[in-house]
Amino acid sequence: DWQRMWRSAWNEAHLLNRSALIAAMTTDMKRDCVLVYQTLFAMNMRRRPSSATFSEEERLHHDLKVMFLKRLLLCFAYCGISSCAENNGSSFKSWPFPLASILCHGGRLLTHLEGIRCHEFLNLLLYGSLDGWNWEEKVPPCMYQRRAATHAIKLGRNQALQERRLKIRPSVFSGHHLGMDLPVGGIGNICPTEGDETLYVGP
């Protein structure tokens, strides 16, 4: 049941009952794993979903995005993820939940790079090599420049990354913000919809 898969089991009443809260979190995290697995491997399964015919260019862009996610998750697994209960806090703990849940609930993940430039890191995730794309010409075809962003990051105490909300000013529209449309849920699978219309995940 894809519509149930897209929904969260959590509601505010669970805050009053620890057992119910844990059960809802467990259900949501299982669904996170299913959605991310389908995103990464929908086209590789024996019974893969039926999907519309896509052009060779769309197929290439889809494959680049999927490889980006696969390498990103490998990076998370190898380097480790820490979380903090407070905004821009300094007390971090190792992430105790599935890696899939990092990407499924609208949160922000701050990545601190040392000894590698951001464009080299993106090249590694997209193409598997540090020099896979020449960023001086344009952004890779599966990405786009966002016109604006609501948040930015800065280095705080002890070189810790901190998030800050941007005010509307010319620097917000600098063109340094990148976007990528991800086939979350797996290409050809059913999207979350309201009403009788059925939509499917595209490339």
Over residues 93-112, mean pLDDT = 84
Calculate the dihedral angle through the C-alpha atoms of 56, 104, 23, 200, rounding to the nearest 10 degrees.
-40
Position 158 scores a pLDDT of 66
Note the pLDDT tens digit of each residue in 44-99: 766 666 655 678 888 888 889 999 999 999 999 999 888 877 776 677 788 888 88
Residue 165: beta bridge partners?
Answer: 151
Burial class from Cβ neighbours inside 10 Å (0-12, 13-18, 19+) for residue 198 reads: exposed
Considering the entire predicted model, what is its pTM? 0.80
Burial annotation 80-95 (CB, 10 A radius, 16+ → b, else e): ebeeeeeeeeeeeeee
Note the pLDDT tens digit of each residue in 15-57: 888 898 899 889 999 999 989 988 898 877 666 666 556 788 8
